[in-house]
Chain A
Amino acid sequence: MQPLKVKQFADLKWNVAVLIVVTSVMILVSTISQAQHENSSSKPVGATTGTDAAAQVMIDNFVYSPVPLSVKVGTTVTWINHDDIPHTVDSTQGKFKSAALDTDDKFEFKFTEAGEYPFYCRIHPKMTGKVIVQP
């Protein structure tokens, strides 16, 4: 039995160690979660937190659609070119700039700050659009 007792003691020690680790992790997670909560609470959010939200802007017949596109902070917007002619997505404020998008090519940008983001096609500057990012 003695050896068993020793083993039990050892198990107990091990369990305590695990408990400490788990607790630490939980505290850490809680801290992060708290930080995240504080972060997002400083910018009130709606139904979705927006951290993994997505939205699309289609390009058809030399027109971006929809315009404007309204999204929440944290949304990743994807532009998709459906034309037979290349287009680009260039922020007029210099915040983002796509390569030339050939047919069915995509461009993504994640909006992390609220505001208005006008953009245009540098090949066909008559093509303009806007993303409105809401807090």
Chain B
Amino acid sequence: MADKKQDFIDQRLHDLNNDGVDRRGFLKCMAWAGTGLVWTLAGGVPVSRVFAKGAKKDGAKGGDFTFVQISDSHIGFDKPANPDVTATLQVAIDKINALPERPDFMIHTGDLSHLSKPTEFDTLDQALRGAAAKQIYFVPGEHDMLTDNGEQYLQRFGKGAKGTGWYSFDHKGVHFVGLVNVANLKAGGLGSLGHEQLEWLEDDLKGRSTSTPVVLFAHIPLWTIYPDWGWGTDDSEQALSYVKRFGSVTVLNGHIHQVMQKVEGKVSFHTAMSTAFPQPAPGKAPSAGPMKVPADQLKKVLGITDVNYQVSGKSLAVVDSSLDGSMSASSGE
């Protein structure tokens, strides 16, 4: 297991160093002993978006596509960490619109709003209308369900979804599943999918070919990052047991306002930066509250995630870029 982890790190380093992109700055790898958490960070020139093995040789194939993940916009938040979250969301959208390849669609992994206020949802909606990618898939964060068990969210951003807002769709041979793990949370517990949704998920995946790449996305991480801060999902193990037979599974989450990655067998876990404010590394602060950084540093710790799918290797490469372009992190197989 340890060797596999090391292999993965070495492979990432190799890919990062040999993709033909001039990259100044640093390249840093950090493994969290015991938990299998792996970070790969590359700094310097804005990173090329294609890291998947064999990508260059094969070139872009007809079915290749990219999509963008944004997360934790927290429209309505106005505290010192970031008094203008609408402005930074706009920077994120501008960045998406400037991507060399237009994404087929976007996903937003929750906490659209800060307090579930209609005006906050309005502002987010207005801002996202300016994005080049017109199709946006949402899942709710706990901040989107504060007032009415998420009814307002469902009406505006989850039309046609099941239960509290879960659904699936297919895009160019990839199966996407949006999950809700922020509803009906129990005292003392973590995120929760619940029995009904798990049954639906099992059924949704049943009969699909194991060669179908699967992308699961939800707000709270579907892997346990730091239970003391509620950074995990109580019944995620069961959900993951349904995807184990698939050859390529990518799990995209938000909630923790920072990039974290883990690879377990064929499953890659990944969390995205926020477009609003950063949060501290696990246990590195008294609480998970907003991390205050100097104003000129803010855009270094906010960002977007660009995911590139390549038919040739049936693989997804995930690239995180900070809003100011000073940092990119990549992962993928």
Contacts and interface: CB of A to CB of B under 8 A. Distances in A.
Contact of B146 (A61, A100, A103): A100
Nearest to A90: B187
A63 B81 CA distance: 20
Contacts of A84: 77, 79-81, 289-290
Interface string B205-247: 0000000000000000000000111100000000000000000
B286 interface: yes
A62 B142 CA distance: 15
Interface string B102-117: 0000000000001110
A63 B229 CA distance: 11
A128 B187 contact: yes
Interface string B283-319: 0001111100000000000000000000000000000
B188 interface: yes
B146 A125 contact: no
Contact-residue bracket for chain A: 20 to 34
A99 interface: yes
A124 interface: yes
B190 interface: yes
Contacts, number: 63
A120 interface: yes
A21 interface: no
A102 interface: yes
B332 to A, nearest CB: 32
B147 interface: yes
Chain B residues touching A, range: 20 to 34
Interface of A: 61-63, 83-86, 88, 90, 92, 99-100, 102-103, 118-120, 122-126, 128
B190 A99 contact: no
A88 B298 CA distance: 28
Contact of A125 (B80, B187, B290): B187
Nearest to A126: B230
Given A61-B286, A61-B287, A62-B287, A125 B115 contact: no
21 contacts: A61-B286, A62-B288, A63-B287, A84-B79, A84-B80, A84-B290, A85-B290, A86-B146, A90-B187, A99-B147, A100-B115, A100-B147, A118-B187, A119-B187, A120-B187, A123-B146, A125-B186, A125-B190, A126-B188, A126-B227, A126-B228
A105 to B, nearest CB: 10
B115 A122 contact: no
